Amino acid sequence: MDHQMAGTAQSRRPLRSSFYFLLMTTLSAALLSQKLLCTALLDVDSLEWRDDKEDELNEAQSHQNSPRDSCNLSVGEWVFDPSYPLYDPACPYLSVQLSCRSNGRPDSDFQRWRWKPKQCSVPRFDALDFLARIRKKRIMLVGDSIMRNQWESLVCLVESVIPGDMKSVSSDGPCSAFHAMEFQASVEFCWAPLLVEVKRDAENRRVLQLDSIEGNAKHWYGVDVLLFDSAHWWTHSGKWSSWDLCKEGERVLANLNPMVAYEKGLTTWAEWVDLHLDPRRTRVIFRSASPRHNRDNGWQCYRKKEPVAAYVGYSPRTPGQLVVLREVLKKMSFPVYLMDVTGMSALRVDGHPSIYGKGKEGGGPAASSDCSHWCLPGVPDAWNEMLYALL
């Protein structure tokens, strides 16, 4: 009996061992599968330090294939490149206040910094290829003087490859257009710093019409690529304020918080885009706020000759306008791409005209320092290389 029971126990050991082996194998496979899943979800090399809401914004706006689908163009570094600038600083289409070298700025390295995204590359601007891509099309930049700054950069980037008798500039009210006749294309700028309208009332006060946009938007119809900006004019205060009072419908809103006004104005713009534009016909891009280095009474950029060195963990302050803009864009049905240039440009304290802006009569340094606009060639050229990559 004992021998029989011993034999039975011995016969069971292989079965029990097989069971344990099978159990451990299954558990190991499950743990390995879970480990692989976690590794796939957390690819450290491709991790971007952005909050979930911003990721959702980018996903919601990825309706058209472009480098933005696989790369955040706004994360990177400035690299010194002796082959820059991309055009002659004597470009005839530059405003006097942006021609810093002509106004006496002694250094020139500010023209030779190239923006290099961290996870991909931005192609070097090719004027002929750009013009081929916008053949028989209109591209319009809409906004304030910083957007005009970018428009002049874009015109100078393309004009040198076009024969003199095949290019021209025209004006229509608040809008100007550079025409590349051989390509039947135009690069245009339209002045609308607040996007919505400002009108004078019976007492000659400037009234910001938060729900009225058609007076400006009538110029935007039929355009193939629209690039907008609107930020700085919403924060001007005191004697520099952009309006005297706000109006929404029949309600007069006095002492309205500027960021509340900004949200209302942007919402009016967003509703116009959603209602009047077709994403199969028109591409819409919104450029974020260009940073100003206006501390020290506007002298923060004086005599600066190279970019600020970004350190590990560097994160510039996010301006209130960008927070509001992201929230408005997330609510839109139209796929608008947010071109975020704020952080990258914040490093370029060296890129402003400072005292080499408008200059005195006959040229030379001015008595005030401009740390808002950008010397050309310069930082806006990098924004336009990003635009080129998107197209």
Please give the positions annotated as active site. Answer: 145, 370, 373
Nearest CA to 341 out of 353, 332, 333, 351 is that of 351
Q: Give the number of other Cβ atoms within 10 Å of residue 354's Cβ.
A: 26
Tokens of 327: 């929230």
Q: Tell me how far apart the alpha carbons of residues 289 and 300 are, in angstroms, rounded to a whole number.
A: 18
Say how far apart CA 88 and CA 167 lie, in whole Å: 17
At 282 the three-state DSSP class reads coil
Positive/negative CA dihedral, 139, 144, 150, 151: positive
Q: Are strands 175-180 and 167-172 parallel, antiparallel or unpaired?
A: antiparallel
Distance of alpha carbon 263 from alpha carbon 359, whole angstroms: 37
Q: Which residues are 116's β-sheet partners?
A: 77
Q: Where are the alpha helices (DSSP H) in the chain?
A: 2-41, 52-60, 127-133, 145-159, 214-217, 258-276, 295-298, 320-330, 342-346, 379-390
**Angle in degrees, 0-180, between the axes of helices 258-276 and 320-330, rounded to the nearest 10:** 30
In 119-131, which positions are buried (b, 16+ CB within 10 angstroms) versus exposed (e)?
eeebeebebeebb
